[in-house]
Structure 1
Amino acid sequence: MTQAQKAARSGPLPLSTVFAFAATSLPIQAVVIAVAVYLPRHYASHLGISLAAVGTAFFIVRMIDIPVDGLLGWVMDKTRTRWGRYRIWTLIGAPVLMASMYFLFIPPDGVGVGYLIFWVLIMYLGTSILALSHAAWAATLAPAYNDRSRVFSVMTAVGVLGAASVLAIPIINEARGAPDAGNVATMGWFIFAMTPIAVALVVWRTPEWIAPEVPGHSFRLRDYWSLIARPTMARLLAADICLALGPGWMSALYLFFFTDSRGFTTGESSILLAIYILAGFAGAPAMGRLAMRISKHRAVMVATTGYSAILVSLMAIPKGSMLVAVFPMFMAGFLAAGFNVLTRAMTADVADEVRLEQGKERSGLLYAMTTMTTKIAGAFSIGLTFLVLEAVGYVAKEGATNTPEAIRNLELAYLIGPIFFVLLGGACFIGYRLGAVEHAEIRRKLDERDALYDEAAIVESVTAEAAIATPPSGRA
């Protein structure tokens, strides 16, 4: 590592570099919102597949896909190429995601459950590769406790723009008088075009450092349990699954709740959802700043408590009243933005704790674990809620009329589950002990050890330009 590179790592990353790196969040979050809110409803309402079948399809895919993340994280951490460790995986993930966007969002007539399962699986594979490489790369870019809150908050804020772009599509189509059925296809084409542009910007503009490794520790299958059982990581995983399950549960039922219970049109519901998502553009940096003042885990507890209180107020929204609905939706989105920002930044802190103990980079593997919890939550949020709605008599088919009892059951399902899980997610951090002081000591020890191994280990700082202009580096 050169003196210039060491100097660059000693202070906060330039804001221009952080924003360029955050570009991968654009397609990732666009896919998340499109799949969570619009795609299941499209296959159930417009393509004629039953609610139970759609929910089961997503559940099956999640169960198949979950073990893949652990393997991906392990392989990523072991990857060493002339282009870097996580950069190469970003390049691999882009075409996989693009293929799934075409076939999943622009399906031919008469598709069935098998078609849905296959292409949802490919879609999750592409997003897993991009999301894992992006999060693990971010952890190595920002080694300082507070700088991580800054980097992950910018990543979340940029992701808000990707999600908001997708949300704008049904709003624009409704204003043009276009049918709802065309929304999903437009979303697919939009994400298909955005993905290579975002990935090219990240690969071109972002440096990557590969930290030195201490010889003598190899990863074994039983080490998975040792990572999960760490007190810091166990709390993070428990909180992560709760904080994914709560909002994911709401996402699966969002359009049903706001159209059938609150009396909004699909376009109006999309506007309110856009407000919820766009609030994260302000909420993510604000929660990052709060974390710098009171620590990340305490900021999570503040966000979860406020979020749950706001959800209770949704039933007080008069039917069809946009003006009244704007405030609670903005505040809910403002606070929800802190969930991922803070837990992902905390995962990077745990990765430092693990690297100090084991002498090896485990960021990819640790982020794979958090991604797995998110996927488990996603599987249950769509699969379980759709099965529950069908069991209590709610009919999702376009043009169907539901009984007051079915609407009431929809309302209960939409609110009770998310409030319970979000509060439980915040409670997981009561007594959490990896704060700024503890992490500063970990970083001090890591920096001292890295300095000793610098001359013997392979330490690379690779940019796309340098990779083309210079031959692969050897041992210093």
Structure 2
Amino acid sequence: MTTQSAAPAKTGAQVPLKEKISYGFAEFGSQFIWTTVGSYLMTFYTDVALIPAAVAGNILLLARVLDGIQDLGFGYIAERTKSRWGRFRPYVIFGAPLLSISMILAFWMPFHGGSISKAVWAAITYVLLCFLYTVANMSYGSLAGVMTTDSGERVTLNWIRNIGSQAAQLIMNVATPFLLLALVASEAGKERGLDSRSYFLTMLIYALIALPSFLITGINVRERITMTPEQQKVPFSRTVKAVLGNGQLMVVFFTLLLMLFGLFGRIGVMFYYCSWILGNSLLMAGVMSSFQVGSIIGGILLPPFALKLGKRNMMMISVLSGGITLLLIFFFGQTNLTVLLVLQFLYGLSGFASPIALSMVPDAVDYYEHKTGIRADGTSYATVSLSTKFANAIGGAAALYIMGWFGYDGALKVQSASALTGINIAANLVPAIMAFLAFIPLLFWKLDTKTMAKISAELEVKRAARAEALAEGVSREEAERLAEAAERAAEERGEI
């Protein structure tokens, strides 16, 4: 990990356009892994590998829990890494090739016999995939917090990131069902659009798309915010305690946990919804594309309003409108395809909260550094990433448990009415309830635009004074005292 320079750049200044655009590429590549796994790995397990739904749910839950346990540890290691590329960039650059390989292995089933051997292979490869996704993607997510201290610039970076996400998802939602059908090997597979060969080749293509996307980001962006020697020495136990004690970070954690619990569970069962309730797996392309078009429009037009209306208020609008739309889909989505497509578009339009939520993470990091002097970029982002992974694990597993409870059997050619009800509940009713619950933590967010501008200005003064004092050879303790004095003086002069 690098130390703070004697004349640090103004970290609140605008990030160059090249870096902003490059920042979105890793998210574009990430979605070819993350969304694909979330949308199709469950159907690969249950309908191709023929692993029972409950067993598949246990695999997802186990892998995500193990992944979550190592998240905080890796975040601590990453934020203290020393390299010529910075703290987080090397994990993006060198983690991406391994991530692509693990993606391919997760969708390859070398066993054709007993369910135990297949379940063990699925568990091992999925755990590996989750770990490597943490290495590359958690490090990528931490970059926005160390590229600038400006709260508005962070919204812009995550807005561009969201555009990359939506573009990738739009491509995949259209292409994946057709690729799976076009690359299928057997006539039996063509009847349902499911085949081990088609899954393997499709995921090979996606893994090769993801790799250069991560590299473009890792190579082109720059880290500008570093940790002081004192911050580097903070032990892991104290860092974790500081993160868990950061009330504003916990607001983001629980909001995302509740919101994404429903979303990830829904994504995982939409292929079942299209195949069994709508009666045609190829409708997945149209159903998810209408959602994605709404997401793109909402993601482009609405996040900038967070700078005027406030991040919390925009998040509240997002979760409430999403919950209402999901209830409408639950009751009326099966009656008419046109109605479903319109509601899917509206649900996508309501999902503009993601870039806003991600921009709230570095705000919470700055808030806690200002309050305590402890900075934990990687560990804080790992904590929020942990909420995402818990939501993915619990949401995906819960969806499979619900389907199994209502009698779903992937080996059957026709599902019972009870099984179809279970799919609808998992796809729409449960996510609606979780969206409404996600409104509650947002009531406790207090870092509005004015507050963050003051915090950022005070941190700039302290960092500059500290660096100048250290350059003059004073002790670190004296440098900290001078930094505090400089902050007070600037505040008295009305500069912050």
**TM-score of the pair, normalised by structure 1:** 0.88
1:98 is aligned, of 97, 100, 104, to 100
Q: Matches of 1:450 and 1:223 in 2, distance apart?
A: 20
1:251 is aligned, of 267, 271, 283, to 267
Counterpart code for 1:292: L
Q: CA deviation at 1:139?
A: 1.2
Q: Matches of 2:469 and 2:413 in 1, distance apart?
A: 69
Match status 1:276 vs 2:291: yes
Q: Matches of 1:318 and 1:334 in 2, distance apart?
A: 17
Match of 2:322 in 1: 307
Match status 1:116 vs 2:122: yes
Match status 1:361 vs 2:375: yes
8 Å CA contact 1:259, 1:265 repeated in 2: yes
Q: 1:358 to 1:219 in 2, by over 3 A?
A: farther
Match of 1:228 in 2: 244
Counterpart code for 2:252: L
Match of 2:276 in 1: 260
Match status 1:428 vs 2:441: yes
8 Å CA contact 1:150, 1:285 repeated in 2: no
Match of 1:464 in 2: none
For 1:83, what is the secondary structure of its paired residue? Answer: coil
Match status 1:82 vs 2:95: no
Match status 1:375 vs 2:389: yes
8 Å CA contact 1:287, 1:335 repeated in 2: no
8 Å CA contact 1:169, 1:186 repeated in 2: no
Match status 1:346 vs 2:352: no
Q: 1:348 to 1:49 in 2, by over 3 A?
A: same
Match of 2:481 in 1: none
Match of 1:46 in 2: 48
Tell me the alpha carbon deviations over residues 249-287 of structure 1, each in whole angstroms, 9 at most, x when there is no partner.
2122212223322x2411112321133234322222323
Residues 6-25 of structure 1 aligned to structure 2 (within 5 Å):
6=9, 9-25=11-27
Q: 1:99 to 1:177 in 2, by over 3 A?
A: closer
Q: Matches of 1:126 and 1:23 in 2, distance apart?
A: 18
8 Å CA contact 2:23, 2:160 repeated in 1: no
- Give ranges in structure 2 of 5+ residues lacking alignment: 185-189, 472-496
8 Å CA contact 1:394, 1:406 repeated in 2: yes
Tell me the alpha carbon deviations over residues 204-242 of structure 1, each in whole angstroms, 9 at most, x when there is no partner.
321222435263761341542342233212222111110
Counterpart code for 1:139: G
8 Å CA contact 1:30, 1:159 repeated in 2: no
Match status 1:407 vs 2:413: no
1:417 is aligned, of 423, 430, 440, to 430
Identity %: 15
Match status 1:143 vs 2:149: yes
Residues 378-393 of structure 1 aligned to structure 2 (within 5 Å):
378-393=392-407
Q: Matches of 1:177 and 1:115 in 2, distance apart?
A: 23
Q: Which moved more, 1:300-309 or 1:102-111?
A: 102-111
Counterpart code for 2:282: G
Q: 1:118 to 1:174 in 2, by over 3 A?
A: closer
1:395 is aligned, of 397, 404, 409, to 409
Tell me the alpha carbon deviations over residues 347-392 of structure 1, each in whole angstroms, 9 at most, x when there is no partner.
1101111222343431110010011111111111122221222122
Match of 1:161 in 2: 167
8 Å CA contact 2:312, 2:445 repeated in 1: yes
Q: Matches of 2:178 and 2:230 in 1, distance apart?
A: 57
**TM-score of the pair, normalised by structure 2:** 0.85
Q: CA deviation at 1:339?
A: 2.9
Q: Matches of 1:85 and 1:149 in 2, distance apart?
A: 22
Tell me the alpha carbon deviations over residues 2-22 of structure 1, each in whole angstroms, 9 at most, x when there is no partner.
999736x44332333211121
Counterpart code for 1:46: V
8 Å CA contact 1:305, 1:423 repeated in 2: yes
Match of 2:139 in 1: 133
Q: Which moved more, 1:436-445 or 1:405-414?
A: 405-414
Counterpart code for 2:149: P
- Give ranges in structure 1 of 5+ residues lacking alignment: 459-476
Q: Matches of 1:30 and 1:447 in 2, distance apart?
A: 38
Question: What number of residue pairs does the alignment pair up?
Answer: 454
For 1:208, what is the secondary structure of its paired residue? Answer: coil
Q: Matches of 1:94 and 1:328 in 2, distance apart?
A: 36
8 Å CA contact 1:104, 1:119 repeated in 2: yes
Q: CA deviation at 1:82?
A: 1.5
Q: CA deviation at 1:101?
A: 1.8
Counterpart code for 2:258: C
Q: Matches of 2:7 and 2:48 in 1, distance apart?
A: 57
Q: Matches of 1:206 and 1:318 in 2, distance apart?
A: 43
Counterpart code for 2:213: A
Q: Matches of 1:344 and 1:255 in 2, distance apart?
A: 28
Q: Matches of 2:214 and 2:163 in 1, distance apart?
A: 17
8 Å CA contact 1:55, 1:386 repeated in 2: yes
Q: Matches of 2:207 and 2:174 in 1, distance apart?
A: 16
Q: CA deviation at 1:150?
A: 1.2
Counterpart code for 1:357: K
Counterpart code for 1:352: D
Counterpart code for 1:154: I
Q: Matches of 2:177 and 2:402 in 1, distance apart?
A: 29
Q: CA RMSD in A?
A: 2.5
Counterpart code for 2:9: K
Q: Matches of 1:418 and 1:70 in 2, distance apart?
A: 27
Match of 1:237 in 2: 253
For 2:49, what is the secondary structure of its paired residue? Answer: coil
Counterpart code for 2:294: A
Counterpart code for 2:292: I
Q: Matches of 1:76 and 1:34 in 2, distance apart?
A: 26
Counterpart code for 1:241: L
Q: 1:225 to 1:204 in 2, by over 3 A?
A: closer
Q: 1:367 to 1:45 in 2, by over 3 A?
A: same
Match of 1:438 in 2: 451
Q: Which moved more, 1:64-73 or 1:448-457?
A: 448-457
Q: Which moved more, 1:167-176 or 1:56-65?
A: 167-176
Q: Matches of 2:445 and 2:286 in 1, distance apart?
A: 38
Q: 1:425 to 1:318 in 2, by over 3 A?
A: closer
Q: 1:457 to 1:74 in 2, by over 3 A?
A: farther
Q: 1:78 to 1:400 in 2, by over 3 A?
A: same
